[in-house]
Structure 1
Amino acid sequence: MLAVLSAPRKLLRKAVAVAAFMGLAACDPAMMAGAGGGSGPRVNTNAPIPVALLIPRSDSGAGGIARSLENAARLALASLDGVEIDLRVYDTAGNAQRAAVQAETAVAEGAQIILGPLFGEAANAAGVAVADNGINVLSFSNNPSIAGGNVFILGPTFRNTADRLLRYASRQGRNSVVIVHPQNVEGEFGKTAIQAAAAQNGVRVAAVQSFPFSQQGVASAVPRIRDSIQSSGADSVFLTSTAAGALPMLLQLMPEAGIAPATTQYLGLARWDVPPQILSMPGAQGGYFTLADTAATNAFESRYRARFGSEPHPLAGLAFDGIAAVGALARQGRADALSARALTQNSGFQGANGVFRIRPDGTNERGLAVATVRNNQVTILDPAPSGFGGAGF
């Protein structure tokens, strides 16, 4: 038993070391007042469009991500057809105060839209700093609490993933779920997203089980999770944990405790295909999780490697998406190309990882595939849609 659990427990220990950084990048609570987005400056689509890219270049913990984001933005520039963008890069150092100053500086120097910053608090500060100028901010955060007003988030959201999975699961006859999440900020965000998605898709939340973010916390929660599923009659269990967190232990211990994947549908808010060891976990077999459009992702990564000689960071595609959206709107010849109305067009955009659209509430919706694990291999059950209005939406 101890030997079997050694790998999951090592992964959980790693998660504690990186939890603070991931919390800042993905779930840094902040509030953005106002609604409706910036009206945006009038754009001369026959001239280069000044775009500011705010990234944490000098942040020792995020410099590599910043470099990858800038590379991806420049890769997108080379893909534009008949549109010129004047990309200007500003260093936030991963600091909210500096992000606000740099946003103001960028606008003073002519920027008509801001891409970034990466961290939620910094994006919120940048948005507040330029709100009176009517300038919109396309942040790389995935924190929905900062979305709104002139701040739009490009990062994939828990709500988008939960919607996709529960919509698919309900079509397969699964209509009641137990939510399992760690007692941390990310876990709370995940729980809230699943609850909202369940209500939208007619799925009953039979129970919610949480656990302290520790090895003992996970182990002691498993019997409670089993009893909750049995007593409530739930046909599914939705795990918010990541592969770097509690997911490996849960996928190992839950089936051992009698929560059989053959009868209880496992769902995951995070990807289950990395690292590959996850694919051999008992609880992963037959479970549902999402992936981006694999063809689009492979094409983007191949082009990135060919140009820069390295692998892109998993978040790099967000910078590509921001440039792609601005370029697509400018190509339409619209003087209001950078307004909230234009940015939130219902047809969306083609990005590094497939189709996406920006929502009027400042969040986003991305085309996702539903995947499962069969014989320790990833199998696509329902492909990512190529446009909005298809089966995946």
Structure 2
Amino acid sequence: MATASVLRSCVSLIARARKGATLIAATAVLAACQVTPGPVSSGSDGDGVRGSGPTQVALLVPYGSARSTDASVAQSLENAARLAAADLGEATVQVTVYPTQGTAAGAQVATQQAIAAGAQVILGPLYADNAAAAGVAAASSGVPILSFSNNTTVAGGNVWVLGSTFENTAQRLLQFAASQGRNRVLVTHNSQASGQLAAQAITRAASGTGAQITGAVPYELSQQGIVAAVPTIAQQARSTSSNAIFLTGNTAGDLPVIAQLLSETGIGGESFRYLGLTRWDIPSDALQLPGLQGGYFTLPDPGPINQFRARYQGAYGSNPHPLAGLAYDGMAAIGAISRRGDTVGRSTLTSGSGFAGTGGVFRLKADGTNQRGLAVAQVVDRAVRVVSPAPSRFGAGS
């Protein structure tokens, strides 16, 4: 495919994704990958607040935000949380909603109000800087914060991130790729903060997977930048005897272009298997791209997520926002602990067996990050084929 045709395909994908709620990758980056001051450091580790009766949950969502899309995201998050709460019953949890305006200052005020009103756990907020602010506001309270972010720079102390992280995705893919003999992996990434975070996460994830990172090549996030970087990527892939290329771009931006241009230089296919850090099946048109054929990416367990979507649609008459499942997952974890009569806090949240969520099993880690059971899929004949199912539970040593 000529470069002009590749760019037309990319522009078409972007245009379609921007019209609706299908732009999961871009939305997730917006929600989670803002540059923030770093992990919350406080005198509290979210050890929990004991109470009698139902667990009091404060739901922090971006109602009142200046961003035009935040109102619908907030509504979907609230709907999902209330759906989970209804499943658990009023005797288990009670939910109170606090608007954050989608700002760090708003999240700080909402957190203070929630704690003053007796909240025992905070679910949300959405954005990474909001989560950091909430963590500081709750520092001396013992109240844990289960944020909807996937930005691990804010994880730690009393803050956990519920979003699927780069490191978790990378570990799953690298482990699978190594088992298939694709154990020498070159990373490509844009030179912006999000790309650098992605590359660092992949490098950290490689330990213990059987895969070796042979290097990382950045590129400017533009047509000219990608074109200029392709010869360097190709040269380094060959000189390091790499047999897999980790692509960190998403379908609404750089992925269609870099995958196609690299494949045209002979870097791809059987000789250099592509690994994807983002979802390649959203929008579904991306599966038609020649450059992605044969490549691997991860998916949540399709069974639970399809059940959640069906139940949400039945309850509210619309499809959930792609991030809505995080609110259900957070409530499911809170509910599972509360039903046992335990306090929701660090020791109970970080149970090794984890919890059942909308995308399958997941567990919260002591460092504030999470691990999610993911399936590995391959693009075969322009369709998704699951080649390694998601685990149904976590093993003792996993």
Q: Same fold (TM over 0.5)?
A: yes
Structure 1 residues 284 and 35: CA distance shift in structure 2, 3 A: farther
- The offset of 1:260, in angstroms, is 3.2
The answer for the alignment partner of 1:237 in structure 2 is: 245
Q: Contact (CA 8 Å) 2:268, 2:274: kept in 1 or not?
A: no
Q: Counterpart of 2:37 in structure 1: which amino acid?
A: A
Q: Quick check: 1:57 aligned with 2:59? A: no
The answer for the alignment partner of 1:172 in structure 2 is: 180
- The offset of 1:200, in angstroms, is 3.1
The 5 A counterparts of 1:240-251 are 240-251=248-259
Q: 1:197 aligns with which of 202, 205, 213?
A: 205
Structure 1 residues 364 and 375: CA distance shift in structure 2, 3 A: same
- Range that drifts further, 155-164 or 192-201: 192-201
Q: Quick check: 1:30 aligned with 2:46? A: no
In structure 1, what is the Cα distance between the partners aligned to 2:27 and 2:335? 32
The C-alpha deviation readout for 1:249-269, integer Å capped at 9, x for no partner, is 122211112113121111000
- Range that drifts further, 20-29 or 309-318: 20-29
In structure 2, what is the Cα distance between the partners aligned to 1:150 and 1:315? 22
Secondary structure at the residue paired with 1:106?
A: helix
The answer for the alignment partner of 1:389 in structure 2 is: 395
- The offset of 1:4, in angstroms, is 4.4
In structure 2, what is the Cα distance between the partners aligned to 1:21 and 1:236? 27
Question: Taking structure 2 as the reference length, what is the TM-score of the superposition?
Answer: 0.93
Secondary structure at the residue paired with 2:308?
A: helix
- The offset of 1:280, in angstroms, is 1.5
The 5 A counterparts of 1:1-393 are 1=2, 2-11=4-13, 23-28=29-34, 29-31=36-38, 32-34=40-42, 37-44=45-52, 47-61=53-67, 62-80=70-88, 83-334=91-342, 337-389=343-395, 393=398
Q: Contact (CA 8 Å) 2:13, 2:285: kept in 1 or not?
A: no
Q: Contact (CA 8 Å) 1:180, 1:225: kept in 2 or not?
A: yes
Q: Contact (CA 8 Å) 1:51, 1:114: kept in 2 or not?
A: yes
The C-alpha deviation readout for 1:98-146, integer Å capped at 9, x for no partner, is 1111101101011111000000111111111111011110000001010
Structure 1 residues 4 and 21: CA distance shift in structure 2, 3 A: closer
Structure 1 residues 96 and 21: CA distance shift in structure 2, 3 A: farther
Structure 1 residues 81 and 70: CA distance shift in structure 2, 3 A: closer
- Range that drifts further, 85-94 or 7-16: 7-16
In structure 2, what is the Cα distance between the partners aligned to 1:177 and 1:20? 25
In structure 2, what is the Cα distance between the partners aligned to 1:15 and 1:22? 13
The C-alpha deviation readout for 1:136-165, integer Å capped at 9, x for no partner, is 100000010100000011011000000000
Aligned pairs, number: 388
The C-alpha deviation readout for 1:219-273, integer Å capped at 9, x for no partner, is 2211211111111110110011111120011222111121131211110000111
- Segments of 5+ residues of structure 2 without an aligned counterpart are none
Q: Counterpart of 2:360 in structure 1: which amino acid?
A: G
The C-alpha deviation readout for 1:141-198, integer Å capped at 9, x for no partner, is 0010100000011011000000000011111112111100011121111101110112
In structure 1, what is the Cα distance between the partners aligned to 2:27 and 2:169? 22
Give % identity.
46
The C-alpha deviation readout for 1:60-116, integer Å capped at 9, x for no partner, is 421111110000001101211684211000000011011111101101011111000
In structure 2, what is the Cα distance between the partners aligned to 1:125 and 1:41? 20
Secondary structure at the residue paired with 1:373?
A: strand
- The offset of 1:24, in angstroms, is 4.3
Structure 1 residues 249 and 15: CA distance shift in structure 2, 3 A: farther
In structure 2, what is the Cα distance between the partners aligned to 1:386 and 1:69? 25
Secondary structure at the residue paired with 2:387?
A: strand
In structure 2, what is the Cα distance between the partners aligned to 1:121 and 1:83? 33
In structure 2, what is the Cα distance between the partners aligned to 1:10 and 1:297? 27
Structure 1 residues 354 and 390: CA distance shift in structure 2, 3 A: farther
Structure 1 residues 235 and 50: CA distance shift in structure 2, 3 A: same
Question: Taking structure 1 as the reference length, what is the TM-score of the superposition?
Answer: 0.94
The C-alpha deviation readout for 1:316-340, integer Å capped at 9, x for no partner, is 0000011101110011122xx2110
Q: Contact (CA 8 Å) 1:30, 1:120: kept in 2 or not?
A: no
- Range that drifts further, 104-113 or 24-33: 24-33
Q: Counterpart of 1:89 in structure 2: which amino acid?
A: V
- The offset of 1:283, in angstroms, is 2.2
- The offset of 1:300, in angstroms, is 0.2
Structure 1 residues 189 and 69: CA distance shift in structure 2, 3 A: same
